[in-house]
Amino acid sequence: MGTGSSMKVRTDIRVDGMTCGACASRVESALGAAEGVLDARVNFASGRATVLHDGSTGDAVLRRAIEQAGYSAPERPEAHDDAELRRVAALRRRLVGAVVLGAPVMAVSMLPPLRFDGWRWFALVASAAVIFGSGWGFHRAAARNLRHRAATMDTLVSLGTTAAWVWSAVVLLAGLDDGHVYFETGTVIVALVVLGKWLEARATRRSGEAVRALARLSASTARLTDGTEIPVEELAVGMRFVVRPGERIATDGVVVSGASAVDMSMVTGEPVPVEVAPGDEVIGATVNADGSLEVEATRVGADTALAQIVRLVDEAQGGRAAVQRLADRVAGVFVPVVVVL
């Protein structure tokens, strides 16, 4: 996971539990304050932290800093993927609940002809289900942030929707017929915020799946010249392997013998296979179309063209534009100011 020289190491860590840009700013600050950390960048959209630190600072130190800030850092990537999948499914259920119960509340609140005897009591119950059911994640996150003496967008959503519902409930229970109720306000806020989070989580999930699908294109085994098959991870520079028609080339290399056409569309986008002969370079994970080839490995593991493409795509997703970094910093200050006001 870490890459770099003996003096400086770059480590990518998955971060679970972030719900807004202010959360990313908090994690960034916590990591930046950890011993040995030279620089820390946290991307809320991708749920990943990129940390530059000295070699004496281990992953455990970085994970502890994240956990002390109120978030989690799964050690296994698949654990993060599972959590991401569960989050998308949970947000979808919350959205469906908010729409099914919130739409009638919105209708009777905004359209007098649709009102019936006791409509306010119906709105009281239905809006409570939306605000404290579908919106429970906001209240839970706000409580967690409060324990860490921090405020995020979840704090604003929790305070705003709860205040609107409590005020309306007091008006209704006190029998103030001329008092205004705002059951639909909290309901609409929760529905819209959950919708946004669901769309965001789904887009992030799909982009992550695209990277994983790209990584899966590589061959899993290589057939050596003596006929034995070995895991592609065991290939070393200078080793020779055979590629039969229809097989994926195990790793980057140069053709030693044989002639064939290689489908390189996954790398170059060219629909027509490229003819190769002895002395020509071939790229790992591309498909040998017809003839047999003997190839000598020139790049293996993280140095292959496919691995570099995956790494560049992953870094592009994890990076933040200048405007996003500014927005996250503003969110970290804006929320506490609004709460105080």
| Tens digits of residue pLDDT in 157-206 | 899 999 999 999 999 988 876 668 899 999 999 999 999 989 888 887 88
**Alpha carbon distances (Å) from 224 to 67, 120, 254, 286, 293:** 47, 76, 15, 18, 11
Tell me what the pLDDT averaged over the chain comes to. 84
Q: How confident is the model at residue 231 (pLDDT cuts 50, 70, 90)?
A: very high
pLDDT (mean) for 250-266: 92
Looking at residue 262, what is its pLDDT?
A: 93
Q: Which of 267, 258, 256 is nearest to 310 (CA)?
A: 267
Answer whether 267's CB lies under 8 Å from 305's CB: yes
3-state secondary structure (DSSP) of residue 298:
strand
Answer whether 13's CB lies under 8 Å from 318's CB: no
- Would the pLDDT of 80 be above 70? no
Q: What is the pLDDT of residues 96-133, one digit of tens each?
A: 999 999 999 999 999 999 989 889 999 999 999 999 99
pTM: 0.69
- Would the pLDDT of 54 be above 60? yes
Distance CA 230, CA 110 (A): 69
Strand ranges (E), 266-323: 274-276, 281-282, 287-288, 293-299
- Would the pLDDT of 93 be above 90? yes
Looking at residue 293, what is its pLDDT?
A: 94
pLDDT (mean) for 295-312: 88
**Alpha carbon distances (Å) from 310 to 214, 267, 314, 339:** 7, 11, 6, 42
pLDDT (mean) for 234-243: 93
